Structure 1
Amino acid sequence: MKFAVKAWSSGRARAGVLQLGSCPSPIETPALLLSTRKACPLSIPPDLLPSLPSPDSHLLHVSSLHFLEGISPQTISDIGGLHKMLGLPGHVFVAIARDSVQCLPEWNSTNNWERLSRLPVAQVKPVELNDGHILIFQNVGGGSVFGSVVGGSSVQERERCAQEVASRSVSGYWIGGFGLGESMDERPALLNAVTDILEEEKPRLVSGLGLPEEVLQGVSAGIDIFDSTYIYHLTLGGFALTFPLDGVETYVSAFQLTNIGSDQTKINLRATIYRKDTSPIVENCNCYTCQNHTKAYINHLLNVHEMLAQILLEIHNTHHYLGFFRSVREAIKSGNFEQFRLKFSGSKRYHLASEAAVACM
């Protein structure tokens, strides 16, 4: 694995390039790590994966917790690794030792957690699922090891952990313990305390920051890769991302265009207002869904509980959110990241304040 920072903006925000294993093209950062279910994208079939932006969509999160049932790690290894088993030679699997199954409803049962608590640590090693790319915590069979930086809501504990990890021979850093109830106001101090200590020339991956505002907050602190289930939960709820992607100057006007009962970053396609709407989710969006289907069709699919609705929504939401990350990178490269962040966050707050004022009239 090779990583290099190419541009800085507004102090800590940085754009870089990550070259990883079998991925034929370098991945630009800040980047999004896509959620999977047993290493497969949650709702996107393999034949439609190429429709997503490449190589931005080639970083896939994988958790060994998903493999406690079914095919064993040894069987995966005998086949030749996840890449060969899944037919995804150009993708990179990122094994993270965290509670990533929280996004999978079927795992929220007492029996599964009792089974997991009795397993030896060796049976849930993330490295056993990979074959020579990003690995977390253990250096087995090659690959790149990321050191874990935690510490809860204590700035002192995070600093102590970061200092210890920075003294080790690791290829990068995984920053965990976020998205567990801390406020947006608490995060900057916790993130900055860590990134001020970690080496600049190594990539930083964070779990738990998924909303656009949270991503921007992480980028402000110098985070490079974001592991989140935001797209999954958004899609599950029937929501589609709609905020503009073509530059900071369009944000204010776009957020004030309509009032359809949302925060103007997304729309609820279950709503009856879209029953006869024959326009795409986002005009001029070149994702597979917007190029081939309408809001009315997806509204119908959702209302009849057709699984195709989630497939089409996840394709659009993934495509759109990867576009958001591209806009973030462009803002950093042009030296306008802070303006971009303030425009995005400020415009959303303006819309919410306007909605509240209307509701009180």
Structure 2
Amino acid sequence: MRVLLTGGSGFIAAHVLDILLDHGHSVVTTVRSQEKANKIASAHKSAGKDKLSFAIVEDIAQENAFDEAVKSDPPFEAVIHTASPFHFNVTDVQKELLDPAIIGTTGILKSIKKSAPSVKRVVITSSFASIVNPFKGNWPDHVYSEEDWNPITQEQAVENPANGYRASKTFAEKAAWEFVEKEKPNFSIATMCPPLVLGPIVHYLNSLDGLNTSNQRIRDIFQGKAKEEIPPTGTYIWVDVRDLALCHVLGIEKEEAANKRFFITTGYFSNKQIAEIISKHYPKYKDQLPGEKTPGGDYPEGGLYKYDNERVQKVLGIKFRGLEESIVDTVKSLQEVGA
């Protein structure tokens, strides 16, 4: 299959790219600069130009940003859209979080409809942020599933960056479903909604400073920042990046994934468990790690929401990796970049 992968240098996309090439697909990936393209190309030397090439899209939030990228010879049959704008310092939630997320998503769908009639499936990276109800706390009597939508409003979205981030994911995903309903394009979509994404980084793209937010907690723990007290876990459900990446690829390969939303989680974890796994497998960090009596980082006393991840297992046939394997592999990948 000929596939367009957006945001090719991202944490999730780098793993998606590996699996696409492994499955024999031919890929064009969008990047923000030629320098990023060169890094990815040099890490995949065995993939010829017919299997891996690049399109530069500097700013996905611009109208028509993807108009040229979606044109290809031979034409694309599928698109995996992982690119999502992120900013470190948000001063204007609407302009810096909401608009780019929504325009980035609807923009690529418009470009595909207009200029890539051969595309049959579009997979979009969404988030548990579009499922969770942030106003309910740990909500022990609720089971989250694909049926849930974050009820956040436009007014709440602009109150602060945390709300803004969650709202950007919610509004962008809703906009994608609305587009399909109203525009009746030649393609079906599938959306992927992961919670915290852990797992090994692709070392040719990453430094310890450029870590995705989820993996920063692993780095901080083994670097001794949790020795006196383990920070609160926050989101208590997770998925390994390699399982999530495989879900994206199966989302274009499997007919039955059409027009489905996938809540992709392995299950529960806590920061305390992460510390215990590192301690067990990497005794050399023992002096920097929290001990058995160190406070913090555990599950909440009043219980937690439940989750239903049946659809992703049934429709995509995924078997999830365990937390131990994920943490061990992540620490190993961080050591490779000098941790």
TM-score by length of 1: 0.29
TM-score by length of 2: 0.30
